[in-house]
Amino acid sequence: MKFNSVTIKNFRNFEDISIDLTNKNVLFGMNDVGKTNFLYALRFIFDKEIRKQNFNDTDYYKKNVFNPIEIIISIDISDTEDADSQKLRAKLKGAILSDQNIVYIKVKADYNKKEMVGVPVLYWGGDIEDLEEMKVHGTFFEIDYVFNVIYIDAYVDLYALFKKNANTLLVNDHEQDKDILESIDKICDELNAEISGLSGIKAFEEKIAPEYKKFRHDDISVSVKSEIAVKGLYSNIVPYIKQETDNSLYPTSGEGRKKLLVYAIFDLLSKEEEEKKITIFLIEEPENHLHRSMQIALSHILFLDNKYQYLFITTHSPYVLAEMDQINLVRIYNEDKIVSKSVLYRVPTKFKSQRKMLNRGLVEAIFADKVLLVEGPSENVLFGKVLSEINPFYEADGIYILPVGGFGFKPYYHILDALQIDNIIKTDNDLRKIKGKEKYSVLGFSRLNNFTKKKILPDTPIDETGVEAKRKLYDNNQEKLDQIRAEYSIYLSRCSLEEDLDEIIHDQMISYLPNADGDVIGYLQDAKNNHMVELVEKLTVEDCKRIYEHYNFACLKEVMQ
């Protein structure tokens, strides 16, 4: 069973949106773009508790109650051997025919002006044009026998959750439990007898009844009891945490600890149903209250554990995405209306063992609006400094610098493009000696041709190498390179970071880097990151402005616009 897509029409802040899905989906985007509403759209299909509440006029997009709300989800069940596909098929019956592999499940609600609600009606089947109305038994739709929805709120209350499910979680059905429960009852009676014996309690009971009778002449008396004796055993027990090394009990007071216990409880609850039903997890901002390391641990469980086979999660946290692989990234954002882009993200096979490293930059970048992709840490350090001098809040404004390192640009810009996150590439004008020949391939040019998927630049090898050869190559093709800058936002260095910088602030670099003995370029290229940090610490606002304004670093200006 595989989730295919969802379409939401006329619901809350979605006028009409279609999103490709897979079985694990991460939704992200700025606040107020409707991530929670998206989860609600799914809940109106899968969660009978939400459906029971019906739609209000405010659930209609801009209160447009003249059109119905429609939410349609499509699921591929062509894998007939898959147990979950079978679970669906066993209830679909004749709603899906022999040549059909996709199930459409639709909730539709026309607004009833008289009753002032939109009552959700469910349909399903294999033909989107001809769906069957789903059978209802009381408040149970057929789909409620197939799916089990676990919605985990960002601020879920551990104690309420525990109390609500105590009967499922605590099953005392062994023979000897009977005796114990009886004995607990007896102890409760004794406890209450003892409580009644306290002088303070007695005095209160005696005083309170006459006071009550001043308001109302009922023939009553008031007695104070332990709650456990009145509301039953489960009303009064809560989970405590006990550390292995320590015998005392700690209330599960820390929000982080509570949250982890909540996940553990949901795990247990889903186990109860997992053989018979398909469990879908809808998780809202799981990062709340969790320390960074806990978020990364959670990421590991969410993306690598089989339990969370069907997952829809909203998040603002890069750490929660640290382990992501085989997931659908869904970016929801606001242009003139709420739109979305999604992309299936798979860690390329060759980077499997470096998943966390590859993900590290990307998970930050997808939360930005504009990303400057650069070669490595030296660029990151220098550009970060320049941009923060121009605009100290550039990161808050949604700009992110992503050094691609050994992974190359491709795995990153492919994802960013698909999510329609503006990205600007800054790469070096590299030459590489061809083995056994006195020729040099124009690596930087070839890279650009590859990125633009057009052969704009000449790629015949050249006879010379070195700084001057690079500059000559650049200058001879400047017109085309400027065109690539304008059309594709790809910026080639004239030579490399250090040489391009040297063109602008040579004298300053000489004075800022006394250890370089005059060879600032060699010095910077020698211990790249460290020496660049040394330089950046000394750069003045003036220097930064010059760099920012210079042709060689025009990528900075573009990212700031």
Which of 57, 58, 63, 93 is the binder for another protein (CB under 8 A)?
A: 93
CB 307 within 8 A of CB 264: no
Least distance to another protein from the beta carbon of 84, Å?
9
Least distance to another protein from the beta carbon of 311, Å?
20
User: Minimal CA–CA distance to 364: which of 287, 416, 305?
Assistant: 416
**Residue 24, SS3?**
strand
Crossing angle between the packed helical segments 478-488 and 443-452, to the nearest 10 degrees: 40
User: Minimal CA–CA distance to 497: which of 520, 478, 465, 477?
Assistant: 520
CB 369 within 8 A of CB 559: no
Which of 74, 85, 427, 489 is the binder for another protein (CB under 8 A)?
A: 85
Which of 2, 89, 202, 528 is the binder for another protein (CB under 8 A)?
A: 89
Closer Cβ to another protein, 310 or 394, answer by number: 310
Which of 31, 114, 129, 137 is the binder for another protein (CB under 8 A)?
A: 137
- Residue 140 binds another protein, judged by CB under 8 A: yes
CB 409 within 8 A of CB 371: no
Helices (H), 244-354: 255-274, 292-304
CA 352 – CA 346 distance, rounded (Å): 9
Contacts (Cβ under 8 Å, ≥6 apart) of 521:
498, 499, 502
- Residue 129 binds another protein, judged by CB under 8 A: no
- Residue 392 binds another protein, judged by CB under 8 A: no
Closer Cβ to another protein, 96 or 424, answer by number: 96
Hey, what amino acid is at 81? E
Please provide residue 104's backbone torsions phi and psi, each rounded to the nearest 5 degrees. -105, 130
Closer Cβ to another protein, 103 or 158, answer by number: 103
CA 42 – CA 288 distance, rounded (Å): 22
Which of 92, 265, 302, 505 is the binder for another protein (CB under 8 A)?
A: 92
Least distance to another protein from the beta carbon of 296, Å?
34
Contacts (Cβ under 8 Å, ≥6 apart) of 460:
442
Which helix H or strand E contains 339, and what residues bound it? strand 338-345
Closer Cβ to another protein, 145 or 204, answer by number: 145
- Residue 139 binds another protein, judged by CB under 8 A: yes
Which of 87, 108, 447, 494 is the binder for another protein (CB under 8 A)?
A: 87
Which of 2, 135, 225, 289 is the binder for another protein (CB under 8 A)?
A: 135
Residues 44-83 that bind another protein (CB under 8 A): 80, 83
Closer Cβ to another protein, 89 or 550, answer by number: 89
* 217 half-sphere exposure, CB direction, 13 A CA radius: 0
- Contact mark string toward another protein, 255..294, x via CB under 8 A: --------------------xxx-----------------
Binding residues for another protein, total number by CB under 8 A: 25
Buried b (16+ CB within 10 A) or exposed e, 351-374: beeebeebbbbbbbbbbbebbbbb
Closer Cβ to another protein, 274 or 364, answer by number: 274
- Contact mark string toward another protein, 96..115, x via CB under 8 A: xxx-x---------------
Least distance to another protein from the beta carbon of 232, Å?
17
- Residue 2 binds another protein, judged by CB under 8 A: no
CA 85 – CA 95 distance, rounded (Å): 14
CB 401 within 8 A of CB 372: yes
Closer Cβ to another protein, 139 or 478, answer by number: 139
Which residues are near another protein by CB under 8 A?
Answer: 80, 83, 85-87, 89-90, 92-98, 100, 135-140, 145, 275-277
